[in-house]
Amino acid sequence: MNNRTTALTALVAGSLFCLPAAAQSPDSRPASAMVAAAPTPSYADLADMMLVSPVVVDATIRSTARIKGAEAAGVAAGRQRLYVQADVAALIRGQAGLPQRVGFLADVATDARGRVPSLKKQRVLLFARRVPGSPDQLQLAGPNARIMWSPAADARVRQIARELVAPDAPPTITGIGNAFHVPGALPGEGETQVFLQTADARPVSLSILRRPGEQPRWSVSLGEIVEEGAAPPARDTLLWYRLACSLPATLPASAVDQLSPADASQAQTDYRVVIDALGACGRTRGV
């Protein structure tokens, strides 16, 4: 058994275990689409991929080889499975380093004559997992886990990588806890607080403050103490992503069922201030 056959056996076997069920097929994004896809994926799209990718690599494709037989089982019509070798320029995320050259599987669209577009010399960003027992083999994290390199994409991926490992990185938002509204002494004055549920039980809360004659102001606190005067998160940051891509459009009934009808209605109105300010998540594709 030669080296390439051994590597393919490990890679195909590894792919059955490295990915969740929703993403077990190799990268199926058409190479032609990659060439045309100049725009940088959205912050949300890149963050989604980063969160499921222990390894992120800046690499240049060196060679491709067609895969046939049992190792190409399950390839959709109009596609060809390739074994791709790429030279690593930088390990953006991951531990223990990587060899100078890595291999991975990719399903790419063929043209009307069944020909595979050339991928050679393309500089790409790979979002992947290691294949156990094969240090030079990677399993892409999903069908969209291979994108064209660009300065903008590289900068944003590195930004997200730094944010994810920062000591004050915000937790994953899993739901809404309780909401409270306290009317002020003057008409139109009041404050609403919304307590969020998180994956690791760390406290996160939203505060919306209204004063007569002023626009409502809101802030988010990462801790037990509500930070008065804290600014809302800037767009395209990890905290913004955690909120914009996780919060429901309205408060669930369970969050306001202990409030009076008037206070519950005002809490819903104030919560909408946050949702409108955050804007759309911007997710345009799956992992």
Q: Is the pLDDT of residue 32 over 80?
A: no
* Angle between helices 43-51 and 151-165 in degrees, nearest 10: 50
What was the pLDDT predicted at 172?
Answer: 97
* Same domain for 180 and 136: no
pLDDT confidence tier of residue 100, bands split at 50, 70 and 90 = very high
What was the pLDDT predicted at 29?
Answer: 41
Residue 270: inside a domain: yes
* Same domain for 196 and 68: no
What was the pLDDT predicted at 86?
Answer: 98
Q: Which residues contact 264 (CB under 8 A, 6 or more apart)?
A: 181, 256, 257
* Same domain for 14 and 141: yes
Percent of the chain surpassing pLDDT 70: 86
Asked if residue 274 lies in contact with residue 39, where contact means CB atoms within 8 angstroms, the answer is no
What was the pLDDT predicted at 226?
Answer: 73
* Same domain for 118 and 56: yes
Q: Which of 86, 61, 246, 90 is nearest to 155 (CA)?
A: 90
Q: Domain holding 22: CATH number?
A: 2.40.50.120
* Same domain for 266 and 131: no
Q: What's the one-letter identity of residue 67? A: I
What was the pLDDT predicted at 206?
Answer: 96
What was the pLDDT predicted at 21?
Answer: 33
pLDDT tens sequence across 195-248:
999 999 999 999 999 999 999 999 999 988 777 667 899 999 999 999 999 999
The burial of 262, by beta-carbon neighbours within 10 Å (0-12 exposed, 13-18 middle, 19 or more buried), is given as: exposed
What was the pLDDT predicted at 7?
Answer: 55
Asked if residue 176 lies in contact with residue 253, where contact means CB atoms within 8 angstroms, the answer is no
Q: Which of 111, 58, 108, 115 is nearest to 82 (CA)?
A: 108
Residue 283: inside a domain: no
Residue 285: inside a domain: no
What was the pLDDT predicted at 5?
Answer: 52
* Same domain for 113 and 12: yes
What was the pLDDT predicted at 76?
Answer: 85
* Same domain for 80 and 18: yes
CA 229 to chain centre: 30
pLDDT tens sequence across 40-62:
899 999 999 999 999 999 999 99
Residue 77: inside a domain: yes
* Same domain for 202 and 135: no
Q: Which of 234, 181, 252 is nearest to 210 (CA)?
A: 181
* Domain that includes residue 212, residue range: 173-278
* Same domain for 230 and 201: yes
* Same domain for 240 and 129: no
Number of domains in the chain: 2
Residue 111: inside a domain: yes
* Same domain for 52 and 114: yes
End of a domain among 165, 183, 218? 165
What was the pLDDT predicted at 3?
Answer: 52
- Residue 55 token pair: 């390894």
Residue 287: inside a domain: no
End of a domain among 165, 194, 220? 165
**Helix, strand, coil fractions of the chain, as percent rounded to 5:** 30, 30, 40
Q: Which residues contact 185 (CB under 8 A, 6 or more apart)?
A: none
CA 106 to chain centre: 20
Cα–Cα distances in angstroms (integers) from residue 108 to residues 24, 55, 66, 81, 199, in the given order = 15, 22, 10, 6, 36
End of a domain among 165, 194, 212? 165
- The mean pLDDT of 114-134, rounded to a whole number, is 94
Residue 128: inside a domain: yes
**Mean predicted lDDT score pLDDT of the chain:** 87
Q: Is the pLDDT of residue 28 over 80?
A: no
Q: Is the pLDDT of residue 16 over 60?
A: no
Q: Is the pLDDT of residue 266 over 60?
A: yes
What was the pLDDT predicted at 223?
Answer: 87
* Same domain for 112 and 15: yes
Residue 84: inside a domain: yes
pLDDT confidence tier of residue 96, bands split at 50, 70 and 90 = confident
